[in-house]
Amino acid sequence: MPTPSSARRASRRPFVVAIDGPAGAGKSTVARGVARALHFAHLDTGAMYRALTAKALDAGVDPSDGPALTKLAKATTIGFGEEGLLVDGIPVGREIRTPRVSRAVSAVSAHKGVRRELVRHQRAILAKGDVVAEGRDIGTVVAPDAPIKVFLTASIDERARRRHREMEESGEPVSLPALKEEIARRDAHDSSRPVSPLIPAADAVKIDTSNHTPHQAIEEVLTLVRAAREGR
């Protein structure tokens, strides 16, 4: 027979930390740091859209073809294990970060059917345990009841510099002006799309990371989490 403490643990809802924001705002760095400090799982929902985009491009599916992409999303198996995100049973790798995927992912992720299928997978993962989830619509659509919602942002110049540095380090040279233009274009597209636009949740805490070190941003989020957990 379960003890009262084990019954409470069994009935406790998973704790979700929702971290949203545009490209280059520091979502992945902050989400990984917070997850590591809390011993939570880390879910990069953007990687799901990137993985589906890579799969579509490899299959010759046009990023503007909503019905075909929705069909592909329905036929795609998405899991989450010790190796992180698994798509069709294979760990997601660096190939989803290539320029060709970056250029097409906004168009792919804008389709209602695609988002419906991937949000279904995301909610299933969040229901299984404590998770730090990062993306663009976690606090507004995927987990609107998350006890902690954070919206990270930074100046476009700083975000472009960060992405430029990351790509240079990974051996993918790109001009800084071109990268800045691409980020601005994606910001406009993601913020104005009719389905799950990139906007802060009404109750999200906004953090501008332009002049923050990763440690400072992580600590700000951890302070919010500690306060929320103490009040449970």
> Alpha helices of the chain — where are they, by DSSP H?
4-11, 27-38, 45-59, 66-74, 99-109, 112-126, 156-169, 176-192, 214-230
Residue 10 has pLDDT above 70, yes or no: no
Pick the more confident residue, 72 or 163: 72
* The token pair that represents 29 in the structure block: 């760095």
Total tally of structural domains belonging to the chain = 1
**Considering the domain boundaries, does residue 3 fall inside one?**
no
More confident residue, 79 or 139: 139
Residue 107 has pLDDT above 60, yes or no: yes
Asked whether residue 10 is assigned to any structural domain, the reply reads no
Asked if residue 91 belongs to a domain, the reply is yes
Per-residue pLDDT, 190: 86
The whole domain housing 120 covers: 15-225
Q: How confident is the model over 113-122, as pLDDT tens digits?
A: 999 999 999 9
The answer, yes or no, to whether residue 126 has pLDDT greater than 80, is yes
Q: Per-residue pLDDT for 5 more than 60?
A: no
Closest CA to 198 of 145, 135, 121: 135
At residue 2, does pLDDT exceed 70?
A: no
Task: Specify if 202 maps to a domain.
Answer: yes
- The verdict on residue 232 lying in a domain is no
Joined together, the tokens standing for residue 158 give 């700083």
Q: Domain holding 195: CATH number?
A: 3.40.50.300
In a domain, 187, yes or no: yes
- Judged by DSSP in three states, 108 sits in helix
* Burial class of residue 146, CB neighbours in 10 A (0-12, 13-18, 19+): buried
pLDDT at 3 exceeding the cut of 70: no
| H-helix or E-strand spanning residue 131 | strand 131-135
Residue 1 lies in a domain: no
Non-local (6+) Cβ contacts of 135 within 8 A are 19, 20, 27, 44, 45, 46, 122, 142
